[in-house]
Amino acid sequence: MNRKYMLTAILSVLLVAAGCDRLEQWFGKNKNGQGFVKEIPAGTDGNSNQVAMLLPDFTRLVDQQGPAVVNIQATRNNRNIDNEAGPDALPDNDPFYEYFKRLLPNVPQTPQANDDEYNFGSGFIISKDGYILTNTHVVNGMNNIKVLLNDKREFQAKLIGADAQSDVALLKINADELPVVELGNPEELKVGEWVAAIGAPFGFDNSVTAGIVSAKGRSLPEENYTPFIQTDVAINPGNSGGPLFNLKGQVVGINSQIYSRSGGFMGISFAIPIDVAMNVAEQLKTSGKVQRGRLGVVIQEVNYNLAKSFGLDKANGALITQVIAGGPAAKAGLLSGDIVQSVNGDELKNSSDLPVKVGLLPPGKQIVLGIWRKGQKEEIKVTLDNVSPVANPASSASSTIMPTDGTSFAEHRLGLVLKATAQGLIIEDISGLAAQVDLRRGDIIIAVGQKLVHDEKDFDNAVAASGKNVPLLIRRANNTLFIAMMLP
């Protein structure tokens, strides 16, 4: 034991004597704006298995950027939040009564009734003259918006505009020389990187939480135009609209949503990339509305089997399953079965990248799509039009099956029994290989690859031309999708 302590003491002296400058670099000097912490890089000192382990210190970030984070309280019909909430809503014998009484007015409590008439959240100042970003769901439908600054000043805010699709809202308060956040580049953010959030969870203003980036480019249901940043930063009701910072003290996202089965934080939260938010904010500021480019296609993800069936070396891009009649894609000559691999030279890793990249561009913009068609790369120019609320494009197609006078026929190698209809070949029975993939009775086979099939001869020829990897385009109810069959 004595020897152990002696070695520890000697090591400590050596570190202090020889490593003071390095320690200062880690914790203090922030030279050349390189961030608040210099992490120990992985794989140094000849050890390729070494992992960076130094934990960051967010104190300077909070000191420098915290004053630009605000607390937002929004009500309907000019209701007074402070008069409706607080310790008076608790029984006198409640153990938290005195606690909340001392904290007020800084910690508003949720009203006991009519919660739909009261919202609270966070935001951050992006200009010295009082423009503030937050979430649409914080202020949507509210006509009395109050902003509380870090220095305890309060302002009534004007809603400049709100975009439900991106969940970004722009507010304005009448003030000058306000502290503002510094904006970063979400493209430079890496999975595993430390990030921090400042906000007002449950009304507890100026609360700081930290974690890491869990994933980038997440696509959520009904959120086609936002490549969310997924983190494990603790986000709770009241954090919505607050900033997500990187270690340089730059805002890289707006905290927007959580995944939860309990209503509280469960380790998965999502932030809107700041470049997407600022694009929306600029449009709201100049015109009060947001316009997004539209391509006019329905797409699906390219998995490994589909990639092989279309002759690709790797699974990437967006597979077009339907081209909307009269849309930009149809006018440019795009087809079902085309795989969009790039937009203006930028590679698409996932299908969700396509609507994001197109949606960031204005209507009327001409773009160049790199596509994969029939085993070859091509480039097609498309002029975008404007996204407008329309019904599901597939819903206009009738799902009524009109049988012909033909008889059913069996494709034993595939395990299918098919019958010709006016819409395609309906699957009457499945077995063998067909039962091992996601084919179902009642599905209608429209095409094999990019070749339409109407009868047994069409189908046999198209399957033979496909070789051992057969991509089937099917219609299921009002949806179209490709399913790959891999023949032995």
Using CA atoms, how far residue 485 sits from 22, 310, 413, in Å, is: 59, 11, 11
Catalytic residue (choose from 122, 163, 166, 167): 167
Beta-carbon contacts of 275 under 8 Å, excluding residues fewer than 6 positions away, are 185, 186, 187
Predicted local distance difference test score (pLDDT) of residue 45: 55
Q: Quick one: DSSP state of residue 362? A: P
Identify whether 240 is a catalytic site residue: yes
Residue type for position 391 = A
pLDDT level of residue 321 (50, 70, 90 thresholds): very high
Residue ranges of alpha helices (H) inside 116-163 are 136-139
100-111 b/e (C-beta count within 10 Å ≥ 16 → b): beebeeebbbbb
Predicted local distance difference test score (pLDDT) of residue 267: 79
How would you classify the pairing of strands 376-383 and 385-386?
unpaired
Predicted local distance difference test score (pLDDT) of residue 57: 84
Burial grade of 23 (CB within 10 A; 0-12, 13-18, 19 or more): exposed
Predicted local distance difference test score (pLDDT) of residue 176: 93
Separation of alpha carbons 308 and 287, rounded Å: 46
Cα 63–chain centre separation: 29
Identify whether 167 is a catalytic site residue: yes
Catalytic residue (choose from 137, 260, 408, 460): 137
- Condensed to tens digits (0 to 9), the pLDDT of residues 60-118 reads 999 999 999 999 999 987 555 544 444 444 455 555 444 444 444 444 444 444 556 78
Beta-carbon contacts of 113 under 8 Å, excluding residues fewer than 6 positions away, are none
pLDDT at 129 over 60: yes
Rg of the Cα atoms in the chain: 29
Predicted local distance difference test score (pLDDT) of residue 184: 95
The pTM (predicted TM-score) of the whole model is: 0.74
Written as six digits, the tokens of 281 are 């904010």
pLDDT at 394 over 80: no
Higher pLDDT, 183 or 398: 183
pLDDT level of residue 26 (50, 70, 90 thresholds): very low
Where are any strands of DSSP class E within 152-206? 154-163, 168-172, 182-183, 194-199
Written as six digits, the tokens of 242 are 């607050």
Predicted local distance difference test score (pLDDT) of residue 4: 45
Predicted local distance difference test score (pLDDT) of residue 146: 95
State the average pLDDT over residues 297-310: 93
Catalytic residue (choose from 122, 166, 214, 240): 240
pLDDT level of residue 422 (50, 70, 90 thresholds): confident
- Condensed to tens digits (0 to 9), the pLDDT of residues 196-229 reads 999 999 888 889 999 999 999 888 776 678 889 9
Higher pLDDT, 402 or 377: 377
Predicted local distance difference test score (pLDDT) of residue 77: 72
Share of the chain above pLDDT 70, in %: 75
Beta-carbon contacts of 487 under 8 Å, excluding residues fewer than 6 positions away, are 413, 414, 433, 467, 468, 469, 470
Predicted local distance difference test score (pLDDT) of residue 275: 94
pLDDT level of residue 397 (50, 70, 90 thresholds): very low
Separation of alpha carbons 297 and 295, rounded Å: 6
- Condensed to tens digits (0 to 9), the pLDDT of residues 251-284 reads 999 999 877 666 666 778 999 999 999 999 999 9
Predicted local distance difference test score (pLDDT) of residue 85: 45
CB atoms within 10 A of CB 50: 13
